[in-house]
Structure formats: structure tokens, C-alpha cells
Amino acid sequence: MAKVIVAEKIAESGVEVLRQEHEVDPRFGIKQAELLEIVEDCDALIVRSVIKVNEELLSRAKNLKVVGRAGNGIDNIQVPACTRRGILVVNTPESNTISAAEHTIALLLSSIRSIPRSTAQLKSGGWDRTPFKGVELYGKTIGIVGLGRIGSMVATRLAAFGTKVIAYDPYISDERFRRFGVEKIEDLNQLVQRADVITVHTPRTEETMGMIGEEQFGLAKKGVIVVNCARGGIINEAALLKAMREGTVAYAGLDVFEREPSPGNPLFELEKIAVSPHCGADTDEAQDRVGFTIAAQVNSALRGEIVPNAVNLPTLREDQLGALTPYLDLAEKMGKVYFQLTREPVDRLEFTYSGRVAALDTEMITVSFLKGLLEPVLGEQVNYVNAPIQAENRGIKQVVSREEPNGLRESEFNTLIEVKIFSSKGGFEIAGTISTRSEPRLVVLKGYETDTNPTGTIIYVENLDQPGVVGSLTTVLGQARINIAMMEVTRRERGETALMAISVEADSEIDKEVVSRLKAVEGVLDVKVVSF
């Protein structure tokens, strides 16, 4: 059983999920210095936002395989350092999506209807509605900055209020805007000029820090409403304070701040503002979901499975993973073939994705091929995290394209992965597809058209296309009591060379003596044993 340290509190449901498979050491609230003393034999570490997963900790955590962040932000985790060590970093970006979206709406409505102030007045014994005249959302233009998971949820919810929703996000496809019925705005300043309400839903990066500042407030409508439930600092607080005092911003709702905690923040002195202490994700449902999800992800990672929310892998959603899984398996098996058939160092890889697979997120499929390619050479040193880095360190260049299948009839395959592998000695071609039963099939190998299920152990024999070779090979295998499960022979042109793929039963032992006897058969050019 692996050892999992839970350094910060997660829901008990998550702890129980971990205990089903591993030894769990709950150390809620442990100090950094104390953790350094016990982390050496830890296989997995779960944190929230306090513990620092830095070089010092990683250098002591000799067995660490996965770091789980129970939440979204990873500011406290040195991801590149984890990647260099082959340590997977996973988080739960979607677990609090609903809560954050709903909190955005709550702050917006609380600010424009003066809920905090009216509540305080009634609790102090007053009864005067005069100061609390609000505004409606109906008919307003909502400007969303960032149409990701939370931004799109906010869009659908605010559309129900009878609003016009526009959004700025240069990294989101036009199709996503159409899916959510949102008008795409090409320029941030244009959105600011049109919006009655501005709400931000972007990560905090160098690009987004202060992106709503004095310039934008100078362009905004008088009486604009501003909401930030994303990350502190995306809206410049000094500029917001000035704009509210001058009346440019009529109302504001803030859950996040440039400095947290934020005691004495001058924004708190303003009347027409609703604030909360970064608790947008803090609901019973979200916290239970976060704990359960991070535990399940850590379990999957320790089993060696692909994790949908790996931070240092291309991000996959659960709905994407189902469609991708057969292709990930196919690509990894395709990659395993090369170095088991030849030892020529790879200079360049050219990937071509055709048909249905071309519409998927092929980045992860490419990573799977790289892992398979390097695994016969590096063994456990290569994984889904560091395979791209290992390839880069080996000077392997990559080119990826999406187009119609090259050299094969278009009607023959409705989905195809082709890889051309170039070395100083020449080229090597391999292609694969997915069968109607979602099974991987190799359809091209070294330029030969084939149809092989890449599972178990396969003996590949390249031979002269002449009578007697097949019979002699099967005789050798029979004498060695090796049971043939499947055999396929393919050739380019009659009388030239042929490729034979012989799948053998799992209990068959292919030792060096058997390989030598196969190579001794007249007409045989090469024999290689490939394990998948």
C-alpha cells in the first residue's frame, strides 16, 4: 500500500476514499517544518493553500509520485520542480465551479440591492428603505472577462435574468461563444465601453494582473457595476476605489483582494460594495466534492492511470477522457514498437491525425506516443509527466498536423494516427486506428499495410517473399512449444520482402535460443520480439 499524507483538511469522504486503497496519515494543519521530517517515505501528498511544495520539500520526499491540491490555485506548488522529478500534480478545478458561479451572482445582487447595508440597518433597530434604492439586471449588458468553466456558468445564469451577455476571451474558440449564446468581443476595452456589468473570471497571470485598471474605468459607462470572484489583483483596487468615489462605478462585489487577509482595506469603507473573505468556493457541496475528487485523482495517479486534472499534463475534462482513452492506449502502443524493432536514435517525429481523432485534443495523444516510444529505453524513468521533457532532452523534434490519411483510401479508415519517425539512417512509418469495438489496430508498420491488435507479445519477422518461410517458422515455434494465437503475413510487392506478425500466448517464453533459430530459417532477414 502506498503512503498518503493529507497535510491540510479535506472532507472525510475524501479520506475514506483514500483509505480504501492506501495507508493514510491525516495531518491536518501540520507545520511546514514538521512535514519536512516525515515526508521522506511519502508516496502522495495532499495540500490546500498553506503547505509549500517547494524544492526543499521535494528534495526530501524521495518516494513522492503525486501531489494533490484540494482546490484550484497552485501558487504554493513549484510545478516545474515536480515535473523535472516526474511527480504528477493534480488539482480540482471544476469541483467548486458551481459554488463560485453562484457566489458571483450573489455578490452582484447583494451589491445592487444593498443587501449588506439593509441587513445591518435592520439588525441595529432601524427601518428606512430610502437609502437602498437599487437597479435591475433585466435589460442590462453583462460583460464577462474570461469564458472558461466559471465564466460560462455565470453567462448561462445571467442570461436567465433577461440580460445581453458579451464576453472577452482571446483563448476560447468561437464555437464555445456560440454554445453559450454569448457575443464575442475582440478587444477588452470595447467590452468595457459596452458593459453595464463587468465580471472577471480569469486566472491570475502576468497578463491578467491589473487588466481592469484606470484606463478601463476611464472608458466605462458611468454607473457601471463591477464583480470579482476570480483572483485578487485582476481588478486594480486603487483604480476601483477612485472610480467608485468619483461615481464611475456605482456598485461592486468582491470576494478576492490584492492582499489577503485584507484588514483596513479602504474599499470596505464604501457603502455600495458587497464583500466576502474569499469564500466563493466554500459551500458544503463544493468542499465535499473537492475532498472526494482529489482523493479519487490521487488514487488514479498511484494506480498509474491518466488523471483528467493533471496540472503538468494537457488538461482533460471527464467528458473528454472517455473519447480519448482508446486513442491514448493506441498511441502508447504505437510508440513502444520503434525502439523494440530498431535502435536508431530519433531525430524527428511527424504526427498526422486524420478523421475523428483530428477533432479531439491530440496533445495528450502525442504525449502518450512519446511515453511509449521512450519506455523501452528508460523504463520507469519516463511517464506521462516527463515524457515531453525526456524527448526534448534527446533532441527529438516534433511536427503535428491534421489532414486526410496519406497513401490510404479515404473510405478505409474513419480515424487514423500516422507517425513518421526519422533518424540519420532513414525513416520508419507506423499508423494505427480504432476498431468498431474500440480496440487498437496497427494498420501500417515500416511501410507494410497490416491489421494487428498490439497486445501481449508479438514476434515480427521480416523475410523474403518466397515459399517455405512460413512453414519453417511455425515449425520452429511448434518445436519450442510456443502456441500461436494469431498470425498475419503482409507484403509490399510480390517476390520482394514480407512482414509477418505472430502473436503468441501469454505463457509462451521467447528466449534468445528461439530467436536465433527463427533467424536461421532460410529467407528470414530479421526477427524482433515486441512486448506491449
Is residue 83 within 8 Å of residue 313, measured between CB atoms? no
**Residue of 7, 48, 75, 90 lying closest to 282 (CA atoms):** 48
d(CA 140, CA 129): 24
The one catalytic residue among 103, 231, 237, 332: 231
Which residues of 77-235 form beta strands (DSSP E)?
88-91, 141-145, 164-168, 183-184, 197-200, 224-228
Q: How far apart are CA 429 and CA 350, in angstroms?
A: 10
Give the 3-state secondary structure of residue 300.
helix
What is the rounded distance in angstroms from the CA atom of residue 397 to the CA atom of residue 390?
12
Dig out the grid coordinates for 226 from the structure.
Answer: 463591477
SS (H, E, C) 273-299: EEECCCCCCCCHHHHHHHHHHHHHHHH
Which one of 48, 278, 332, 375 is the catalytic residue? 278
Q: Of the candidates 262, 200, 206, which has an alpha carbon nearest to the alpha carbon of residue 228?
A: 200
Long-range contacts of 179-183 (CB under 8 A, 24+ apart): 180/147, 180/152, 180/155, 180/156, 181/155, 181/156, 182/144, 182/147, 182/152, 182/155
Q: What angle do CA 325, 326, 332 make, to 5 degrees?
A: 90
Alpha-carbon distances of 282 from 146, 203, 335, 386, 474, rounded to whole Å: 22, 18, 44, 34, 67
Q: In this structure, are residues 222 and 193 in contact, taking their beta carbons and an 8 Å threshold?
A: no
260 among known catalytic residues = yes
260, 285, 403, 509: the active-site residue: 260
Residue 22 falls in the annotated catalytic set = no
* Sheet containing 457-464, strands listed edge to edge, beginning at the edge strand earlier in sequence: 484-491, 497-504, 457-464, 524-531
332 C-beta neighbours (distance < 10 Å), count? 24
Does 60 qualify as catalytic in the annotation? no
Q: Which helix (H) or strand (E) holds 459?
A: strand 457-464
Return the HEC string of 121-159.
Answer: HHHCCCCCCHHHCCCCCCCCEEEEECCCHHHHHHHHHHH
- Sheet containing strand 88-91, edge to edge, reads 23-26, 3-6, 44-47, 66-69, 88-91
Contacts of 133 (CB under 8 A, 6+ apart): none
Contact 358/402 with Cβ under 8 angstroms?
yes
214 CB contacts (<8 Å, ≥6 apart)?
236, 239, 242, 243
Residues annotated catalytic, as ranges: 231, 260, 278
